[in-house]
Structure 1
Amino acid sequence: MHFALTDEQHMIVQTVRDFVTAELYPHEDEVERLDDVPPDLARSIRQKAVASGLYAANMPAELGGGGLDGLSMTLVERELGKASFALQMLVARPGNILQACEGEQRERYLLPAVRGERHDCLAMTEPGAGSDIRSMSTTAVRSGTDYLINGTKHFISHADAADFVVLFAATGTEDTPRGPKKRITAFVVDLDAPGVTVRRGSAAVSHRGYHQCEIAFEDCRVPEAQRLGAEGAGFDLMSEWLGASRLTVAATSVGRARRVLDMTTEWAATREQFQQPVGRFQGVGFQLADSVTELEAAELLTLHAAWKLDNGGMTDRDAAMAKLYASEALGRITDRAVQIYGGMGLLAELPIERFWRDARVERIWDGTSEIQRHIIARSLLRPLGA
Structure 2
Amino acid sequence: MSNEDSARLTLEEIREVTRSVCARYDDEYYRELDRTEGFPHDFIKDAMEAGLGSVMVPAEYGGMGLGVREASVVVEEIHRCGGSGSNLHGQMFMMGILARHGSDEMKQEILPLVASGEVRLQSFSVTEPTAGTDTSKITTKARKEGNEWVVSGQKVWTSRMDHTDFFMVFARTSPVKDPKKPFQGLSCFLVDKRKIDPKTLTTKKIDVMFNHHTYEVFYDDMRIPETCMIGEEGKGFKYLLDGLNAERILIGSECIGDGRWFLDRAVKYANERVVFGRPIGTNQGVQFPIAKGYAQLEAVDALRWKAADMFDSHENCGAEANMLKMLASEASWDLANTCMQTHGGFGLAREYDVERKFRENRIFQIAPISTNMVLNYVSQHVLGLPRSY
Give TM-score scaled by structure 1 length: 0.89
> Are the equivalent residues in 2 in contact too, given 1:246–1:323 (CA < 8 A)?
yes
> Are the equivalent residues in 1 in contact too, given 2:19–2:81 (CA < 8 A)?
no
> Are the equivalent residues in 2 in contact too, given 1:37–1:86 (CA < 8 A)?
no
Alignment of 1:86-97 (within 5 A): 89=87, 93=92, 95=94, 96-97=96-97
Question: How many angstroms apart in 1 are the aligned matches of 2:278 and 2:310?
Answer: 46
Alignment of 1:77-226 (within 5 A): 77-83=75-81, 85=83, 89=87, 93=92, 95=94, 96-99=96-99, 100-120=101-121, 121-176=123-178, 178=180, 183-192=185-194, 193-194=196-197, 195-206=199-210, 208=211, 210-226=212-228
Greater Cα offset, 320-329 or 181-190: 181-190
Kindly report the root-mean-square deviation, in angstroms, between the aligned alpha carbons of the 2 structures.
2.6
Query: Displacement, 1:304?
Result: 2.0
3-state SS, counterpart of residue 351 of structure 2: coil
3-state SS, counterpart of residue 177 of structure 2: strand
Q: Residue 357 of structure 2 corresponds to which residue in structure 1? A: 355
Q: Does 1:45 align with 2:43?
A: yes
Query: Displacement, 1:17?
Result: 2.0
Residue identity opposite 2:97 in structure 1: I
Judged with a 3 Å threshold, the aligned counterparts in structure 2 of structure 1 residues 17 and 66 are, in CA distance, closer, same or farther, namely same
Question: How many angstroms apart in 2 are the aligned matches of 1:385 and 1:250?
Answer: 25
Q: Residue 3 of structure 1 corresponds to which residue in structure 2? A: none
Question: How many angstroms apart in 2 are the aligned matches of 1:307 and 1:198?
Answer: 40
Question: How many angstroms apart in 2 are the aligned matches of 1:26 and 1:60?
Answer: 36
List alignment gaps of at least 5 residues for structure 1. 1-5
Q: Residue 15 of structure 1 corresponds to which residue in structure 2? A: 17
Question: How many angstroms apart in 1 are the aligned matches of 2:14 and 2:47?
Answer: 13
* Cα distance per residue 1:160-201 (max 9 Å; x no partner): 100121000112223336376662111122324124334242
Judged with a 3 Å threshold, the aligned counterparts in structure 2 of structure 1 residues 363 and 126 are, in CA distance, closer, same or farther, namely same
Greater Cα offset, 319-328 or 57-66: 57-66
> Are the equivalent residues in 2 in contact too, given 1:56–1:94 (CA < 8 A)?
no
Q: Residue 60 of structure 2 corresponds to which residue in structure 1? A: 62
* Cα distance per residue 1:62-112 (max 9 Å; x no partner): 111112233222222211222455577269636222223214423543332
Question: How many angstroms apart in 2 are the aligned matches of 1:321 and 1:180?
Answer: 25
Alignment of 1:21-32 (within 5 A): 21-23=23-25, 25=27, 27-32=29-34
Equivalent pairs: percent with the same residue?
27
> Are the equivalent residues in 2 in contact too, given 1:45–1:90 (CA < 8 A)?
no
* Cα distance per residue 1:97-146 (max 9 Å; x no partner): 22232144235433321221111211001111221011112111222332
Question: How many angstroms apart in 2 are the aligned matches of 1:51 and 1:212?
Answer: 25
3-state SS, counterpart of residue 185 of structure 2: strand
Residue identity opposite 1:164 in structure 2: F
Give TM-score scaled by structure 2 length: 0.88
Q: Does 1:75 align with 2:79?
A: no
Judged with a 3 Å threshold, the aligned counterparts in structure 2 of structure 1 residues 126 and 80 are, in CA distance, closer, same or farther, namely same
Name the count of aligned residue pairs. 375
Question: How many angstroms apart in 2 are the aligned matches of 1:198 and 1:148?
Answer: 15
Residue identity opposite 2:206 in structure 1: S
Question: How many angstroms apart in 2 are the aligned matches of 1:281 and 1:166?
Answer: 51
Greater Cα offset, 121-130 or 49-58: 49-58
Judged with a 3 Å threshold, the aligned counterparts in structure 2 of structure 1 residues 191 and 75 are, in CA distance, closer, same or farther, namely same
Judged with a 3 Å threshold, the aligned counterparts in structure 2 of structure 1 residues 297 and 314 are, in CA distance, closer, same or farther, namely farther
3-state SS, counterpart of residue 52 of structure 2: coil
Residue identity opposite 1:232 in structure 2: G
Query: Displacement, 1:11?
Result: 1.7
3-state SS, counterpart of residue 173 of structure 1: coil
List alignment gaps of at least 5 residues for structure 2. 1-7
